[in-house]
Each structure stands twice: as structure tokens, then as C-alpha cells.
Amino acid sequence: MSINANATQLVNICCEQAHELLRFAGEFYPFAFGLSAQNGVIPVMTYFGEEYPSSLQVLTNLQKALAVSHQKHDFSEVAICSNVRWRDHITQELHDAIQICVDSIHTANQFDFYQSYSLGEKIDYATPVVEHGTLSFFSGINQKSIK
């Protein structure tokens, strides 16, 4: 799988944000970014009045907010970053991990990036793993525009 420079830029920005949130709070709610040729990297946030919403609620609302922002900014790539429990496919062990799901208008650049970590006096990060993508943002947008 080849990952283009735009998708790499989004992953790097998501990792920086996640690392800061983990450093200060030890956890984080999902967040998102979109990449636009004319406007660069655009943060996409959601808030709907609850102090402690479920991560699923946040993810659902982030996808809606990304769709609204896409209409304004014409994204070429989007990324949603979450704090998850990830199973290593080799050892079958569960790990805390940063998950970054990236979708691109270029279908070859759809992937999920995982970086497991251990919290302690300092945060230890393992080697990142890239897997087949699960975010289908652009196919959903294209299907809605056809209907």
C-alpha cells in the first residue's frame, strides 16, 4: 500500500494532537481533520451538549460534521482519530492504541493506522501498524450525491 503525502500529513497531525492529549489527560475523545487543496488542514469538531458523551456518539457526529465541512472545503482526504483497544493480529494481545482512519478521494489511500502505547511516567509508543481502511467517507458522500 502506498500512502500519499497528503494522507501522511493528516496522520502526522493526528498523532501530534493525540500525543498531546494523552500526555495531559491520559485519554481523549475522537477528533477529525480534513485536508483541502485551497484551505489546507481543517480541524473538524463536534459538540452536542453532553459533558460525557459516548465515543460512538462522538464518532457519529464527527462523520456528519465532516460531511458538512466537506461541502464548504472540498476535502481530498479526511482522518478520524480515536483512542481504542487494539488487538495485535500476531500475538492476539489487546493494547491501548491511537487509531487513525484515513479515507481519500484516491481509493488506494484508504487505511487505518494504529500506534499502541503504554501510559506510565512517560508514554511509550510501539511501532505503528497500517491495516486495510475501514472509513468509507467519500463513497458515502458520492452515493448521497447520486440519490
Alpha-carbon span 30 to 83, nearest angstrom: 7
Mean pLDDT of the 101-112 span: 85
pLDDT for 144 beyond 50: no
**What sign results for the dihedral spanned by CA atoms 130, 134, 135, 141?**
positive
Q: What is the pLDDT of residues 45-101, one digit of tens each?
A: 887 777 788 888 889 899 999 999 999 999 999 999 999 999 988 889 999 999 999
Amino acid identity for residue 20 in this structure: E
Percentage, residues of the chain above pLDDT 70? 92
Phi/psi at 39 (nearest 5 deg)?
Answer: -120, 0
For the whole model, what pTM was predicted? 0.89
pLDDT for 147 beyond 70: no
